[in-house]
Amino acid sequence: MHKNLFDVTIIGGGPAGLYSAFYSGLRGMKVNILEYQPHLGGKVNVYPEKMIWDAGGMPPVTGAKMVEQMIEQGLTFNPSVFLNEKVESIRKNESGHFEVQTASGNLHISKTVIVAVGSGILNPQKLQIEGAERFEVTNLHYTVQSLKKFKDKTVLISGGGNTAIDWANELEPIAKKVYITHRSCNFKGHEAQIGQLMSSTAECLLNTQITKLHANEAHDGIDRVELTHSITNELSSLEVDDVIINHGYEIDASLIKNSALPIEMVDDYFIKTESSGSSSVPGLYAAGDISKHDGKLNLLMGAFHDAANAVNEAKRYITPDAGAAAMVSSHNDVFKEKNRELAKNI
Ligand SMILES: Cc1cc2nc3c(=O)[nH]c(=O)nc-3n(C[C@H](O)[C@H](O)[C@H](O)COP(=O)(O)OP(=O)(O)OC[C@H]3O[C@@H](n4cnc5c(N)ncnc54)[C@H](O)[C@@H]3O)c2cc1C
């Protein structure tokens, strides 16, 4: 037998992947996590300072804290973890095991696979203005890593989806002034976030888009932005300290397409699953934002729920007479020692 034969190989180390790793450990499985980024935590790393209020039973925590806690939990059972490991394709060999091929040339062999790649490999869509890239080292941003950086600044955000709206809401109490420009006539975010934005001091510039960036005297940053109204073509100008762009992401979704497996998809990207996480390929499961099923919830809670279901299916694929689910953690033998340690500090 292959010495590195894993029970489950989890592709993607975001919320779904990390919880899959934890739950697989709980069920006594030998686990391998493969993550493209140099760090774990997935998309939550895009919003490190955002407060997350909607994780059941959890007090509000920042994205960064959530990442820290998910990693700690995900690594409880010491899974093998490969970072900077881009999975390129999955196939099955003649023994019925999965072979997971990565860009670095590694071949990971596994009895089952949980695909937890979320939105795939994300690269932000760049501002389509000639020469814009030279400002990326100063005040043209494609992500908000630290809210403090924008304290007392005049910030223009360009974008109309959840991320742009979230950033506007988070920055509004911190920045001197927040403008948000969107080329369309309405925003496409969650209702509550749009409501918050509309009742804040942030100024919404709809039907407008950035058409020119003016450099400061030193030519090392933007000091003024030209905006064009998309209906009237009227030009306007805004003096800014920082410009933040969220025009969505270019997604590298080649993984499933490169894989010589009959994986049924939805909308050419998502993996069609049962609510149990099972895909059209026996032994291959999907969890988190990549999966599409009737009860799908594209939230952290949805990712955790998918993950537990996928692991239970994977366990029973390997060991058909295993229980349908793990016992609750308080009854599980694997926690006895850990509970004794924790109890000392209570
Ligand atoms: C701005 C924003 C705010 C949000 N706020 C909330 C909130 O307040 N509450 C909430 O519940 N949810 C929130 N969400 C949603 C939540 O973040 C997602 O539902 C969750 O991250 C999905 O987890 P996932 O593991 O499925 O995918 P992801 O988080 O996308 O993780 C997938 C991982 O897979 C890796 N990967 C992709 N392709 C490959 C490959 N080929 N090889 C190896 N690795 C690969 C990626 O690098 C990534 O690390 C928010 C999302 C955004 C964008």
Q: What is the pLDDT of residue 1?
A: 44
**Structure confidence at residue 221 (pLDDT):** 96
Length of the chain measured in residues: 346
Residue from 19, 33, 39, 44 to probe ligand 1 pocket by mutation (most atoms less than 8 Å from CB): 44
**Which atom in ligand 1 lies closest to the alpha carbon of residue 18?**
25
**Domain residue ranges in the chain:** 5-122+250-344, 128-246
Q: Is the CB of 113 under 6 A from ligand 1?
A: no
Tell me if 5-122+250-344 shares its fold with 128-246: yes
Can you list the positions of beta strands (E) in 116-258? 121-124, 140-141, 154-158, 177-182, 203-206, 208-215, 222-229, 235-239, 242-245, 249-252
Ligand 1 touching residue 61 (CB < 6 A): no
pLDDT at 3: 61
Verify whether ligand 1 is closer than 6 Å to residue 12 (CB atom): yes
Which CATH architecture is the domain 5-122+250-344 placed in?
3-Layer(bba) Sandwich (3.50)
> CATH number of the domain at 128-246, please?
3.50.50.60
How far is it, in rounded angstroms, from Cα 106 to Cα 162? 36
- Count of alpha carbons within 13 Å of 298, Cβ hemisphere only? 11
Beta bridge partners of 10: 33, 114
Q: Which residues of the chain have pLDDT under 50?
A: 1
Q: Is there a binding annotation on residue 330?
A: yes
